[in-house]
Amino acid sequence: MLVALLVLALVGVVVAIVVGRRRSRAAAAAATARVEAAETAHRQELERVSASHDEGVSSLEAQHARERDELEARRRDAEERAEQSQEFATRSMRWDEPSQRAVVDACTELGLDGVLVTNVVFVPVDAPRTRRFVAQVDHVLLLSSAAVVIENKGWKGVVLDGVQPRDVHSSIGTLFGDATFEPPFAVQVSRESPTSFRITSHEGRESPAAQVRRQAQRVSDLVGAETSRTQWFDTAVFYSHPDAEVWAAETDATEAGVTTTIVAGGRQLRSFLERVGDRPRTLAPTRIDELAELFARHGADVRRFGAMAVPEGR
């Protein structure tokens, strides 16, 4: 009996030892699993942080590259604008010198005070970047009574602006037959040889009157963008060639009532400037100086006359 009890006790001890070892191994395995899980989580966190860092660095590098490319594009754009403006200014100035002299001389003779800027070259405010073009304005006259955009046309021969050929002379009417032009329009008849003529028509948007109104709007937009103040500009077309025979209406008006004055030759120019000079004063000398300096930055040739011969405050 005693032996049996001893055997049972011994078996119990062995079982306890075996169970304890199994529990210890299970606990150790669980601990090992927890350690490995912690290590895995730590490694994954490091990888996430590293990936986030790399992504952040890549994002910063990409942003820097975009900014660099944008600055380079702006630089190229500025250089291209400058080259276009310089080329345009050089080519255009020689055509506008005679009309420039005529306007300045007429203003001086009339005793007017102001500034004439010639050959303003700029990229219009509303020009799409993908289809950029350069605008060139022949003259902007700045007087205390008005600001006027003047489109110079040094056309030779016979010029009809707003006047139908049949209403001029039978010989002119014969050249055109029954042709009738829709205003606004201008037609130039020039002799190519002793026996032949060249007829060039400028209709609708291509007419000088429509052209100068479009240029005046662009100049107004430029002034508004660069001075934060709006400015109204009157418009005029000046046929300046001394050998031109011009038949023109005194004015060309849009359906909205915007009027453009048509001027031919020195006598009509003087009469037009005299009427403009007699208007009430609307531009202060400081404003005239501000506009003249703005246009000078865009390559314009600036001629001052009268009391404005010296800039305000200098």
Q: Using CA atoms, how far apart are residues 64 and 121, in angstroms rounded to an integer?
A: 34
Instruction: Spell 32-62 as b/e; 16+ CB within 10 A means b.
Output: eeeeeeeeeeeeeeeeeeeeeeeeeeeeeee
Secondary structure of 236-289 as H, E, C letters: EEEECCCCCEEEECCEEECCCCCEEEEEEHHHHHHHHHHHHHCCCCCCCHHHHH
Backbone angles phi, psi at 160, to 5 degrees: -115, 120
Render pLDDT for 86-125 as a digit per residue (tens, 0 to 9). Answer: 555 555 556 789 999 999 999 999 999 999 999 999 999 8
Q: Using CA atoms, how far apart are residues 268 and 274, in angstroms rounded to an integer?
A: 10
Q: Average pLDDT for residues 37-47, to the nearest whole number?
A: 80
Cα dihedral sign for 191, 192, 197, 203? negative
Distances (CA, A) of 81 to 76, 77, 238: 8, 6, 28
pLDDT, mean over the chain: 85
Instruction: Check: CB of residue 115 under 8 Å from CB of residue 295.
Output: no
pLDDT over 50 at 14, yes or no:
no
Q: Percentage of the chain surpassing pLDDT 90?
A: 56
Render pLDDT for 177-234 as a digit per residue (tens, 0 to 9). Answer: 888 899 999 999 998 888 888 999 999 999 999 999 999 999 999 999 999 999 999 9
Render pLDDT for 48-92 as a digit per residue (tens, 0 to 9). Answer: 877 777 777 777 777 877 877 777 766 666 556 555 555 555 555
Render pLDDT for 236-259 as a digit per residue (tens, 0 to 9). Answer: 999 999 999 999 999 999 999 999
Q: Name the most confidently modeled range: 5-9, 73-77, 168-172, 244-248.
A: 244-248
What is the predicted pLDDT for the residue at 15? Answer: 47
∠ CA(186), CA(147), CA(233), 5° rounding?
Answer: 55
Instruction: Check: CB of residue 181 under 8 Å from CB of residue 206.
Output: no
What is the predicted pLDDT for the residue at 59? Answer: 75
pLDDT over 70 at 303, yes or no:
yes
Predicted TM-score (pTM) of the model is 0.71
